[in-house]
Amino acid sequence: MRVLVIKKKYLILSIISIVCAIILSLDFTGGVAASVYFGYAPRLVPIYSVDTTDMRVAISFDTAWGADKTTRILDTLAEYGVGATFFMVGFWVEKYPDMVRAVYEHGIEIGTHSNTHPDFTRLSTSQMELELSTSIMHIKDVVDVNVELFRCPYGSYNNSVISTATSMGLKTIQWDVDTLDWKGLSGVEICERVMSRVKPGSIILCHNNSDHILDALPLVLERLKVAGYTVCSVGDLIYRDNYSIDHLGIQRKN
């Protein structure tokens, strides 16, 4: 019995030691130092939002299906004098080059949303590289723009996805405010959803051809304006260098 008690005591002490080691090895990113200590790869995350005290938020549009609402979206953005980012899929660019030019001429930032909208976590590194390089090529064939931002189709990513994008000079962008506009929410419902979740440094996700985006967008922009927010592109919101991204995807200036 005494041997059993002693073994139990050492087991408890061992567990406590391991827990303490984990806590001591954690850094503010939630695990990078721990990964070094225990020999496993850190989990990489995209930029979901930005740590800032400025009343600035970015609005973005995933652009893959249809284009009949895009002109009015651009007109609304121009009416309110705000920036935005369009994450374009390659096949959309090929099908609607005039719309790509219109987005560019309105001064709206253009990022890539892949070439064929696959789940990147199911692709090899070479397949991911082909998706990204092809989509960027299609964009550059239409407008003279430097593509620097990437949004994963379906918001699906892993370490390999982010590492591949980074190696190609792309920052991977997620979002912290999902409008769920693709679910058929009304304009008012979309607006209320945004305003209940937005904060300084937020990145808002919209879709260029969702059912009620034309009803929602002026409501959202008006409410953000009244609340004191400046709406800009993702590129104008994020930090370009000397930053870190914590385990929640919050980009922080070092």
Token reading at 143: 């407008």
Mean pLDDT computed over 85-95:
98
- 107 pLDDT band, cuts 50/70/90, is very high
Q: Per residue in 178-220, pLDDT tens?
A: 999 999 999 999 999 999 999 999 999 999 999 999 999 999 9
Residue 32 has pLDDT above 60, yes or no: no
Supply the pLDDT for residue 56.
98
What contacts 241, CB < 8 A, 6 or more positions away? none
**Cα 156 to Cα 231: distance, rounded to the nearest angstrom:** 26
Residue 74 has pLDDT above 90, yes or no: yes
Q: Among 84, 31, 35, 87, which residue's Cα sits nearest to residue 58? A: 84
Per 3-state DSSP, what percentage of the chain is helix, strand, and coil (rounded to 5)? 50, 15, 35
**Cα 151 to Cα 137: distance, rounded to the nearest angstrom:** 16
* % of the chain at pLDDT higher than 70: 84
* % of the chain at pLDDT higher than 90: 83
Token reading at 210: 């969702």
SS3 232: strand
- 67 pLDDT band, cuts 50/70/90, is very high
Mean pLDDT of the chain, nearest integer: 89
**Cα 69 to Cα 159: distance, rounded to the nearest angstrom:** 35
**Cα 249 to Cα 157: distance, rounded to the nearest angstrom:** 13
Residue 4 has pLDDT above 80, yes or no: no
Supply the pLDDT for residue 153.
98
Residue 116 has pLDDT above 80, yes or no: yes
- 42 pLDDT band, cuts 50/70/90, is confident
CATH architecture of 49-253: Alpha-Beta Barrel (3.20)
Q: Among 168, 161, 174, 157, which residue's Cα sits nearest to residue 234? A: 174
The reported pTM is 0.85
Strands 243-245 and 250-253: antiparallel
Determine if residue 249 is left, alpha or beta; phi over 0 gives left, psi from -120 to 50 gives alpha, anything else beta: left
